[in-house]
Amino acid sequence: DTEVTQTPKHLVMGMTNKKSLKCEQHMGHRAMYWYKQKAKKPPELMFVYSYEKLSINESVPSRFSPECPNSSLLNLHLHALQPEDSALYLCASSQEGRLAGAAEQYFGPGTRLTVT
C-alpha cells in the first residue's frame, strides 16, 4: 500500500469555525509533513513530524495546530482562519530521513480549503 489518504477532499469554513484535516498512511513511514499550496505555486512546507514528534514548524501561525496521534495519522486543526488561508493542503510521508537516506515523499491528494 503506497497510498496517503486525506479527508475531507473539500472544506468550506467560516472564520469563526473550528475544523480538522486528517491524513493517514500505512507504509510504515516515520516522517509526515503538512504543506500548503496556493494556486500556481509550489507547495510550502508547514510542519514536519519525525517519529511522532514535531521536528519542524516553519513559523506557521498558531491558528494552525498539528497533531500526530500515532505513526499512521496526522491531523491539522484549524481555528479562526483568514480568507488568505484558502489553499490546497497536502499531506506527505517518507521514511525517516536519517536512517533511510534521501527518501522520496509520498503525497496525498490534498484537501481544498476555502475560508469565507
Partner 1 sequence: AQSVTQLDSHVSVSEGTPVLLRCNYSSSYSPSLFWYVQHPNKGLQLLLKYTSAATLVKGINGFEAEFKKSETSFHLTKPSAHMSDAAEYFCVVSDQSGGYQKVTFGIGTKLQVIP
Which residues make up the interface to partner 1 (CB under 8 A)?
4, 6, 31, 40-43, 45, 48, 50, 55-56, 88, 90, 92, 94, 96-98, 101-110, 112
Q: Are 66 and 34 in contact (CB under 8 A)?
A: yes
Q: At closest approach, how far in Å is the CB of 62 from partner 1?
A: 22
CB-wise, 3 or 82, nearer to partner 1?
A: 3
CB-wise, 73 or 88, nearer to partner 1?
A: 88
At which residue does the C-alpha cell 488568505 appear? 84
Extract the C-alpha cell encoding 116: 469565507
In three-state secondary structure terms, 8 is coil
Q: At closest approach, how far in Å is the CB of 80 from partner 1?
A: 27
CB-wise, 20 or 107, nearer to partner 1?
A: 107
How far is it, in rounded angstroms, from Cα 104 to Cα 111?
21
Q: At closest approach, how far in Å is the CB of 16 from partner 1?
A: 27
Instruction: Report the first-to-last Cα separation within the chain, whole angstroms.
Output: 36
